[in-house]
Structure 1
Amino acid sequence: MTPVEEKPPRALLAEAPRPWVRLLPRAVAFVLFLALLPTTIQVLGVDYGLDGGIASGLAVAQTAPLLLAVVRPLRAWYVVFAADVAGALALLSVDFEARLSWPFPPMEIVGYVGLCLALGLRESRRTLLMVWPATAGAGVGLEFAAPDGRSGNGTLLTILSGAALVLGGALRERYVAQRRLAEQESISEAERGRRRLLEERARIARELHDVVAHHMSVITVQADTAAYRINGLPPAEREEFTSIAATARESLGEMRRLLGVLRNEETHGELAPQPGLTRIGQLVDATARAGGPVEFTPCDADVPEAVGLSAYRIVQEALANVVRHAPGALTRVALSEDGEQLTVLVVNGPPPEPPAAPLEKGHTGHGLVGMRERVRLVGGTLDAGPLPEGGFRVAARLPLTERDST
């Protein structure tokens, strides 16, 4: 088994959308390091009287890990915590003025509190519950060793570090909750789109069933009546027509069982003629009655029923979108056929007056989903989108002959 490579940790706030927020932790850590390193050396060496080498070593150990805290705050905490405790013990070996803080000088408190904030932003609650008792224990324990009865500031460090841990943890959990909510909303929107796509496919399947079932019914009737319509039909041909009729009835039964699966409980209609090119004029008239002027260029070509049904549904959805989103806009519906394909064009301009309130809030794009499914079903192409001067354009090209899928 090959070992799994550990992914390098990401910096604090690396997933923030704004660049300055992503750079903020590094900038704060760098500023703290530059400010605290010389200050710590100066205070420990001059004010407290520690040896210069010891003061420098402690200063580096207490401040340099702040740069690491941007990526690995827990590892930085181990070093800084040990260095702060070691510094407090080292101060017991020198005689410093009573006015000076002990066991933690002010610059150590600033660095430690900043480190605790980084811990809260990155680590889990379990880790934070380990860090804070260790800090409190060290602070209280060192206060008992205060020289000459001086009062220590371990309690102050305990309170400030606890507040920083709580603040960082609260910010981290808030960010995690917001991210999960955004992910859930994204998943929900994708599921709604997928559900709408499946519903549209089922609707198309139901409509195509009605179209194909009509043809199968015609085949069955013609095959059953062939012996009566054709005089002198030989027995072999009569048996062939009987077999054709039986096969057609069996196929029709299978399609009806399929329809029973696809139709929902609210669908009560049986086999019914599906709308085609000749019914598009009724859609145009209905839209005009709703208050929107429509210019219509009809097409009387004889097209396959699946193509005519797709054209009807595309125009239906496009005109519905005009009524919903651009009421009163001038709309042009044009159908044309050149022997190879049927072109469906629906173009509307901007509404004469912006509606006081939209008829529907939000733009789900479900209508375009249905259009694309229908166009894909017959092997055509769809071009839909807003116009530069305002309005919307839907152009579908539906082939009149079946195309190879390869």
Structure 2
Amino acid sequence: MRIRPQLADALIALALTSVSAVLGQESGAQGWDPLDAQGYVLVVLAGLPLAMRVRAPLTVLLCSQLAFVAYVASGYWPVVTTFGPMLALYTVASLRPARTAVVCGVLMSGEWVYAGAVSPRSSMASVVSQAAVFTLVLIRFGALARRSNELTRQLRGEQARRARREVAAERGRIARELHDVVAHHMSVISVQAGLAGFVFASDPPTARAALATISGTSAEALEELRRMLQVLREAEDATPGAPMPGLDRMGELVERIRAGGVPVTLRTVGAPRPLAPGVELCAYRVVQEALTNVLKHAGGARAEVQLSYASHALTVSVVNAGPDPGREAVIQDRVRSAGGHGLIGMRERAKLYGGSISIGPRSDGGFAVTLTLPTSAGAVQGEEDASG
């Protein structure tokens, strides 16, 4: 059970006041005037204000020191009321600037010397040395506590900023995934819905084929969204979700784009091999976004997807040839303006997995997206660490 700071200060003040009152009963044995009602009142005034030492450290220090001076001036044993001013000085040093703490320390040392001066049994050399040493120790420990508190606040602030950055990065990742899933499938559905409406009466078989494509595409979109939600709930769900799409599903992606009216060819260069899941997902999403842009902005253009497996890298290229030179500039402008989030997402994915990407028009017409991802053991290990 954690005690609240204000309650802890109140308990400390009560304990110090009780100790001072008990110690005051030994005043007579030490050759000082025994405590009477006035003495006990001054003991209480020197100790109980410490309950507010954090909220008003300077005020508490002044009250405690004034009670100490009045106590000493009344002829009582000075040791009884030293605890309150000492703790108050430590509190000021831990909460206020060093200059303020030094001024308060000089004030307390002067009062300590005054107590030695009015006491016939005190050695001034001993009193002065005690006043200097105790004051310096209290100020030093208070400064260390202040520095520790400042470092703690800085650490908490940095942790909060880091948490906000991580949340923002995670939101960005989720937004890219949602964009890739929703934008692609909705583009296919939109094209097929338009085709079905156009040929509904004149060509029923084509309309039925378009509706079938819409049904399959929407089902796949829902399935990918379910996978994404399972990944987001991974920490809470003991059952792992289905894997995200990879290169083994590239054929299905190409078929959907073909069904949307874009002639697409898929070529593989080199021997296909399993890659890290993150690398395959990155390549799949880049191809998906590139083909979606072709479907949305370059209808009728031919497209070619090529997967090139090298010993330490995977190169993925999506190239489309514009339907005619006159429309090429318009198509490029559309891709840059309407596909802003998609292009940013492709670059961020490539950067995340240590790859490079080139996006832009071709010298002989058309548009090209070329992604190169490292697949070496070190790169894959780094990707797995980032994914975990």
Question: Normalising by structure 1, what TM-score?
Answer: 0.43
User: Which structure shows the bigger proportion of residues in helix conformation?
Assistant: 2
- Under a length normalisation based on structure 2, what TM-score does the superposition of the two structures give? 0.45
